[in-house]
A and B are shown apart, each in its own frame.
Chain A
Amino acid sequence: MNDAMTVEMNASDEEQVKSARSETILYVDGVSVTFDGFRALNNLSFYVEPGELRAIIGPNGAGKTTMMDIITGKTRPDTGDVLFKSEIDLTKMDEAEIANLGIGRKFQKPTVFESHTVFDNLLLAASGGRGVFQALFHRLSDAEKIKIEKTLVTIMLEDKRDEMAANLSHGQKQWLEIGMLLMQEPELLLVDEPVAGMTDSETEETAKLLRSISKEYSVVVVEHDMEFVRDLDCKVTVLHEGSVLAEGRLDHVQKDPRVIEVYLGR
C-alpha cells in the first residue's frame, strides 16, 4: 500500500511539474556552469510566465549576465534544462537561431551599430528575412517604415532618426538597443542593466518604457538600481553565487535576512 502511494505521489508531482512547465515562457531548471573550476551558476532554477515582467537582482558576479548567456546560446550549460515556451530546448541552439525563435537580448554594455543611423539600426533589427540573398535584394517596404517610425516614438528618439548612433548619449544608446529588440518582435526580452549610466529622469522614463513593453511581451530585467526595480513594480528574483536566494515582491525579499546579508545590507 505504501508503495502504491509513493507511485501515486510521484505521478502527481510529475504532473505538477509538467503543468508548471506548460505555463512558462522561460523554464530554467538545475542549470550549472563552470569556468576554469569556478562555478558561475550553481543549480539555478527559475520560471517566467508568459506576459510576466520579472526583475533579477544580485551582487556583482552573482551570475546574472552568465544566466543570459546561457539562455541566448552564447554559453553552454554543464548541466540543466533551459526551455522556451515549455518545449523548445535552447541549450542545443546557437545565438542566431535563438534570436529568430523570438528571444531578444540587450547587452550590459549598450551595443548598437555605431556607424549606422538610428533608423538603419532599427531597420537591421526589423523582423523578417535574415538570409544573405534576401538581404542583398531587400527593399524597404512601407510596412517596415511605419513600424520603424512607431518604434522611434516608443523609444523617444524620433528626432534622432538620421543621427549616427555613435553620436547618441549613453542613455539614448540604451533606448535604441531596446528599440532594436522591439523591432525583432520577440516574445521574450532579456534586458541587462538598462539604466546603467542614466540620469534620474532617464531612469524613470525607462521604467515606464519597460512597464509598457511588458504589456505585450514577457520581459526579464537585470538591474542593480533599487529605485528602478521598485518602479518596475514586479516579482523579483535574487541571485547569489549562481543560484536563487529569494523570490517574491521587492518588499518581501528586502525583509529576508539572507538577502539583507549578501546584498541589500551592504
Chain B
Amino acid sequence: MTDYRQKYQMTPVVGWLLNDRGGMILLGILIAASILVPASNLLLPESSAFHVPTWMISLLGKYLCYALLALSVDLIWGFCGILSLGHGAFFALGGYAMGMYLMRQIGDRGVYGDPVLPDFMVFLNWQELPWYWYGFDMFWFAIVMAMFVPGLLAFVFGFLAFRSRVTGVYLSIITQAMTYALLLAFFRNDMGFGGNNGLTDFKDLLGYSLQSDGTRAGLFVASCVFLGICYVVARGITQSRLGKVLIAIRDAESRVRFTGYRVEYYKLFVFTVSAVMAGIAGALYVPQVGIINPGEFAPALSIEIVIWVAVGGRGTLYGAVLGAFIVNYAKTFFTGAMPDFWLFFLGGLFIAVTLFLPKGVIGAIPAFGAADRQSIITTWRKRLAERRANEGGKA
C-alpha cells in the first residue's frame, strides 16, 4: 500500500485526506449528492423515475444536520472521552439564532401585521423588541451568533467543569442538567423566545421563499457543504499532534498531565469547537424543518445523539455520520409505521450495539475495521509467506 503521507510530505492536508478511506467516500458522496439531488429535483419532470421529490430533499437535509451534530459529538466523545449528554443544547441554540433571523424576516406579514415585533410578542402585549433581538434582522449577524452563542456557552461551561476536573459520569450528568435548565428557561414566555411554541411560521430566507423548491435545494446543498467542511476540520484536528494529545487524554488523563500538558485547555478547545459545529447544525436544521421550540433542549434528545454515534462507530467521524443516517431513517420509518415501538427499538438497538458491535456498524465492515486493517494485511502476508515456505520445503 502506498503511504500517501510519505508521498505528499509537503502537503500534510492532502496526505491525511488520502489516507482516510472512509472520509474520502463520505466527501465523495457529499459532493455527488449536492450536485445530483438538486439537479434531479429541479430539472427532471415529476414523472421521471429519477426525480427526487422536495419532501425527500428536506428529509435528507434534516438527516445531514443530524449527521453534523453526531460528528460534533464524536469529536469530543470518540477522541477525548468527553461524554456530553447535553449537545442538543448547542444545536438548539444555533437553531434559535437562525429562528430569530427568520422571525425578523417575516416583517409585517405576521398575523398581527407588526413590522418589527414577532407575533408572539404582540400577543404578550410587548411594546418593543428586547435588546437581545437586535441585529437578528441581519443574516450575517444571525450566522455569527449561531456559532458564537453555543461556543461561548461551551467555553464558560467547559472552563468551569474542566478546571475543577469534573470527568466521567459526573460531567455527563451536569451536561444533562445544563440542557434541562435551558429547556425550562426557554419554556418561559418572558424569556422572549416564544415560550412553549417556540419560533415558527417562517416565510423566507435572504428573500427566498422557504416553500420554494429552489430554496429547499439550496439548503440541502448548504448542509452537504457544511458537513463536508466540518468533517475536514474535525479530521484535521484529530490528525494533528493536538488530536494525539486528545486521544492520550481519553486513554490516560493523568499521564498527560504529568507529561506537562494542560489537559483542561485541550478539553476546552475541542469542546468549544464541537459546540460551534453543533450550533451550525442547528442553524441549518431550523429553516428545513420550519420550527424551533424548547423541545430541542430535551435531555432525551441529547442522549439519542450519543446513540447515533455508538451505532455508527465511535472515534471514526464518518461512523458518526453513518450512525445518524441509520438511526434517523429507522426513526422516520418507525414513527410512521409503528410509533409505539420506536423507543423500544432505540433502546434495543443501543443495547445490541454495545454488546455485539462495540465499534459500531463501521467497525463491523472489515475494510473499515480502521486500526486493524493494517494488521489484517500483515497477517495475510505472513500466512502467504509461510505457505510458500512450506510448499518450497516439500518440493
Contact surface of A with B, Cβ cutoff 8 Å: 72, 74, 94-96, 99-100, 104-105, 107, 111-116, 120, 123-125, 130-132, 135-139, 164, 180, 184
Contact = CB atoms under 8 A, between A and B. Distances in A.
Contact of B242 (A94, A96, A136): A136
Contact of B244 (A111, A120, A137): A120
B237 A96 contact: no
A116 B247 contact: yes
A124 B243 CA distance: 11
A132 B269 contact: yes
B252 interface: yes
A135 B242 contact: yes
Contacts of B244: 116, 120, 123-124
Interface string B20-64: 000000000000000000000000000000000000000000000
B237 A136 contact: yes
Given A114-B251, A132-B266, A180 B240 contact: no
Interface in B136-186: none
Contact of A124 (B248, B257, B265): B248
Helix, strand, loop or mixed for chain B's interface? helix
A95 B265 CA distance: 14
B371 interface: yes
Contacts of B254: 74, 95, 107, 111
A112 B251 CA distance: 8
Nearest to A99: B260
B12 interface: yes
Number of chain B interface residues as a range: 20 to 34
Interface string B235-276: 001001110110110111011111111110110010000000
B241 A136 contact: yes
A109 to B, nearest CB: 10
Return the 10 tightest CB-CB contacts between A and B, nearest first.
A99-B260, A135-B242, A138-B241, A95-B257, A136-B242, A113-B248, A100-B260, A111-B255, A135-B241, A132-B269
B247 A72 contact: no
21 contacts: A95-B257, A95-B258, A96-B262, A99-B257, A104-B258, A107-B258, A111-B252, A113-B251, A114-B251, A116-B248, A116-B251, A120-B244, A123-B244, A124-B256, A132-B265, A132-B266, A135-B241, A137-B240, A138-B240, A180-B259, A184-B260
A124 B256 CA distance: 9
A112 B258 CA distance: 12
B240 A135 contact: yes
A99 B240 contact: no
A107 B260 contact: no
A130 B257 contact: no
A245 B168 CA distance: 40
A1 B247 CA distance: 69
A97 to B, nearest CB: 8
B259 A184 contact: yes
B251 to A, nearest CB: 5
A115 B240 contact: no
Nearest to B374: A162
Contacts of B247: 113, 115-116
B115 to A, nearest CB: 46
B260 A96 contact: yes
B26 to A, nearest CB: 22
B251 A96 contact: no
Given A112-B252, A116-B248, A135-B241, A125 B269 contact: no
Nearest to B240: A136
Given A115-B247, A116-B248, A72 B242 contact: no
Contacts of A111: 252, 254-255
A135 B254 CA distance: 18
Nearest to B265: A132
Contact of A113 (B12, B240, B255, B258): B255
A131 B248 CA distance: 15
Contacts of A100: 260
B262 A139 contact: no
Nearest to B266: A132
Given A95-B257, A99-B257, A111-B255, 7 more contacts: A96-B260, A99-B259, A100-B260, A113-B251, A114-B252, A136-B237, A138-B242
A131 B266 CA distance: 9
Given A135-B242, A136-B237, A136-B240, A115 B251 contact: yes
Contacts of B255: 107, 111-113
